[in-house]
Structure 1
Amino acid sequence: MKKNFKLFGSALIVLFAMFSCDKPEMDPMPELIELKRANNGMIKSYDNTMVLKWNEALSTAIDAKMPPPAESRIYAMVSIAVHDALNNVVPKYETYALDNNWNDGKEVSKKTIYPVADAAVAQAAHDVLVALYPLSKPNVDNLLTACLSEIEDSELKDIGVQIGTEAAAAILSKRQGDVLPVFQVIDQGTEPGEYRSTPPFLFPNPPVWSANSAYAPFWGNTEPFGILSGDQFRPNPPYAVTSPEYTADYNEVKLLGNNNSAERTEEQTEMVVFLTENMPSMLNRVAKAMVVKEKLNGFDAARLLALTQMTVADAIICSFDGNYHYKFWRPLTAIQQGENDNNPDTEGDPSWGPVTAARVTPAIPSYPSAYSAAGRGGAELFKMYFGTDNKSFTIESYMTAGERSYTSFSQLATDMGVSRIYGGHNFRNDYLAGDKMGREVAKYVYENKLKELKPNQLVK
């Protein structure tokens, strides 16, 4: 079938070139415009059931199993594979790894889209998830068998399986050079403001690493998914530890982020625990809720999930670049050593510690806040995707029972950022720098990746 598409595309290119020589200023061929309209109608008829089924399988497999950088990579790659697979069934949006320039979608119809698209989604998600997280294999193998068994055996089903296989292979090949994030021994800071490691490391169990370890010190050099490089949006340097701005941030987190703080409200403590969950899983839950609420079709659902995880992954990469470029100390170190920081206005407390009901202090430098960058990045992506910030949604957390409801995406992002102060993990300047970075990452990804194809891009 792919060969037929390619032959059709080549012939159409010749016709288009001949036509363009006579009238170079004319709009795209009417045939292509009509074909796009037909494809749009077909795409709208394909619902989100299979996309959400495999997104849920992805969440079940990896949520709360690993630190955010590793989780974000898997989320992004699986979500992209599903998006690319669908857009090689019928081309609606640009792809990331599997080229869909060969395809005009002409051989698929409203009657036939389900078997080929469902098979493609299931196979793509399965193959990437199994490759990246082998522990998921028994469950996702069973899910794939169940999904494919519900599709009537036919050439369309076989084509869908082939497209899904190719989409998975393409993203795995494109990202095979990634250096996976691990704990590594790093040089320890000695001067005020310089990072010192903050053991114990408890995610999900204490690893066997030196007390001088930190997590993923080279993650900022990882190839991003949507932006150009990890240092593309690197923030300005953090405040000097003798500055009044640092002093204000120090005293704020010392007061509100202390485990035994009498100034932090009960609601703020609940926020800290609820939002301690990994950013990729939390924002995936928001995206999934919006897919259901807005009744997105399968193609738009896959695109939203892919853009979300590309943004989150790149925000984390960017923040890690800044973390290990500046190597600024965490509040835990700063406050415990506050008597030795050459700042007369920062009173130290060797017994100070962050909120124990949440995680221990993350094993990375403090500036900028990765959590804030990812949270604001996701919120900005949602705002641009839906054309408004004011959407209501309710989410749960893996970290505690209950749920939280929001009336805007920005409201969630702000909570995610300030929760790091209330939890004792970050200074306010860390939050603000991450917040700005998240906006910049989301804007770049949304404006440059997985864009809707124009009529004259359907066949090249």
Structure 2
Amino acid sequence: MNLLRSRPALVALGATALLAATAAVPSASATPTRSAAAAGSIALDWYDTTAQTIAAAGATTQVTNSRTWAISWLAAARATRAVPSGVDRSEYRSAALASAVHDALAALAPARTEQLDAALQQTLDAIPDGPSEDKGVAAGSRQAELALKSREGDGLDPASVNAPYTVPAPAPGEWQPTPSAYAPATQYGNRLAKPFTLTSADQYRLPAPPALDSRRYKADLAEVRAYGAQNSTQRTAHQTETANFWLGSSLTLYTEPLRVAVDRAPRSDAERATLVALFHVALVDTQIATSDSKYAHTRWRPVTAIRTGSIDQDPDWTPLHNTPAHPDYPSGHNTYSGAAEGVLDALAGPSTAPFQVSSPTAPGVTRTYTTWHQLTVENVDARIYSGIHTRSADEAGVTLGRNVAGQTLRTADRLLRSL
């Protein structure tokens, strides 16, 4: 079976039912209001506000920023899931979503409180005053407070994420700090953090990477040596562009694709909040699971293997891009893409109308996609063309990400219950 083409069909069916459970069902006597006429627009407004908040005041560690998304939108999904009697459904949900995301973001990024207060006021000005708005605001505030409390001390602050790691003694296959900075290991602390839905960080720990004397490992190393070298004569201009395009933060690169899905797929603010919440919950847990497998196997990076290993040693070999300071197996970019694809396939469908994505690490380049799977395929190749991962590490990463996404979707009903 081609792991990059399999589809978690049963999970997708369950996820479709989950979104259906949050869909708006207006009564026959309901009259249109300005908030109902723009159903779903509040979610997009607050999606953009969240992205702007993290861009301006986010943490130095990606998983911490993923946590901010997850807490804020999980609070919103919980607050909008059930609607009390005697209120307008759309007005209540719009107020609840805005209140939940506002309060969570203000607590997690206090430097942006002024901007967040202004955004909340703008949302509330568009909702008629009355019990629907009042009860929605109260529900959102309560769920934000409870979501924040439930994640206190979860080990995903920057200092905990980059907890000290003792580097193993040099040996064939063992990770060592890499040129040019030879920086200390990062992200070790992720594996010690508290997940949202995983029973433990090692729940989906990957099996060991290919043995150093295996045919697969030799093929992996030969591929990255040829296509990932700084001065490669095998890598095409388009392949170099692919490496540059996917070089940056996965959180940044997937912000626009997720927004496309939020805009196009679900029908209501409640459904959209659910999609954003489950996406980022899955991605927090994926980053925890990634670090568990990385530091369980401590596989050296290609640059170390090529410069010091026993297979065609080349002390001068240099990758196209600097190697990140953590082990090779699995690739974090690809665990991210695997989890993202799993959630988007299940909740938004595997394909959509063409959409464009740009990248801060490839200025002026815009790429067009029609499936979430295309993003995954490019991520797999990109890390090889960058010279920083083997194909085995990339493909194992996709598998791990998909496993964690499946766990998130299977446990979503319990996760989304109001606290």
Fold agreement, TM-score > 0.5 = yes
| Cα deviation, residue 37, structure 1 | 11
Determine which structure has more spread, i.e. the larger CA radius of gyration: 1
Residue pair 2:205, 2:289 contacting (<8 A) in 1 also:
yes
SS in 2 for 1:215: coil
Deviations 1:35-82 (A, max 9, x none): x89952369977111111111111122249533222221221122122
Q: Secondary structure at the match of 1:124?
A: helix
Q: Name which of 175, 180, 195 aligns with 1:195.
A: 175
Q: How does 1:101-120 map to 2 (within 5 A)?
A: 105-110=84-89, 113-114=90-91, 116-120=92-96
Q: Cα 1:76–1:37, aligned 2, differ >3 Å: closer, same or farther? A: closer
1:188 Cα deviation (Å)?
2.1
Judge conservation of contact 2:266–2:348 (CA < 8 Å) in 1: no
User: What is the TM-score when the length of structure 2 is the normalising length?
Assistant: 0.83
- Alignment partner of 2:356: what SS? strand
1:329 to 300, 313, 318: 300
**Alignment match, 2:390:** 427
Matched, 1:121 2:97: yes
Q: Distance in 2 between matches of 1:37 and 1:368?
A: 35
Are 2:170 and 1:173 aligned?
Answer: no
**Closer, same or farther: CA 187–301 of 1 in aligned 2, 3 Å:** same
Q: Hey, what's the Cα distance between the residues in 2 that align with 1:142 and 1:108?
A: 25
Match of 2:32 in 1: none
- How far did 1:185 drift? 3.6
Which residue of structure 2 aligns with residue 16 of structure 1? none
2:3 equivalent in structure 1: none
1:372 matches 2:357: no
Distance 1:375 1:292 in 2: 20
How many equivalent pairs are there? 384
> Which of 268, 284, 293 matches 2:255?
284
2:249 is aligned with 1:273:
no
Q: Paired residue for 1:239, among 210, 221, 232? A: 210
- Alignment partner of 2:52 out of 60, 64, 69: 60
Q: Could you tell me whether the CA contact under 8 Å between 1:391 and 1:409 is conserved in 2?
A: no
Q: Is the 8 A contact 2:359 2:365 kept in 1?
A: yes
The percent identity for this pair of structures is 29
Q: Which moved more, 1:188-197 or 1:38-47?
A: 38-47
In the alignment, structure 1 segments of 5+ residues that lack a partner are 1-35, 91-104, 202-210
1:79 aligns with 2:73: yes
Q: What is the CA deviation profile of residues 130-188 of structure 1, one whole-angstrom value per residue up to 9, with x for unaligned ones? A: 22223333322332233334444434332222111111111111110211244344222
Deviation at 1:451, TM superposition (A): 7.5
Which residue of the partner structure matches residue 31 of structure 2?
none
Maintained 8 Å contact 2:97/2:273 = no
The answer to whether 1:299 aligns with 2:284 is: no
Q: Flag structure 2 segments of 5+ consecutive residues without an equivalent.
A: 1-20, 28-34
- Which residue of the partner structure matches residue 187 of structure 2? 216
Q: C-alpha distance in 2, partners of 1:63/1:85?
A: 25
- In structure 2, give the amino acid aligned to 1:377: A
**Counterpart among 360, 367, 380 of residue 398 in structure 1:** 360
Residue 323 of structure 2 aligns with an amino acid whose one-letter code is: T
Structure 1 residue 390: Cα displacement:
6.2
User: In 1, distance between residues paired with 2:152 and 2:105?
Assistant: 14
Deviation at 1:416, TM superposition (A): 1.3
- Which one-letter code corresponds to 1:268 in the other structure? Q
* Range 288-297 or range 225-234, more displaced: 288-297
Residue pair 1:380, 1:410 contacting (<8 A) in 2 also: no
Equivalent residues of 1:188, 1:212 under 8 A apart: no
Q: What RMSD in Å do the two structures reach over aligned CA positions?
A: 2.8
TM-score (norm 1): 0.76
For residues 63 and 251 of structure 1, do their structure 2 counterparts lie closer, same or farther at Cα, with a shift above 3 Å needed?
Answer: farther
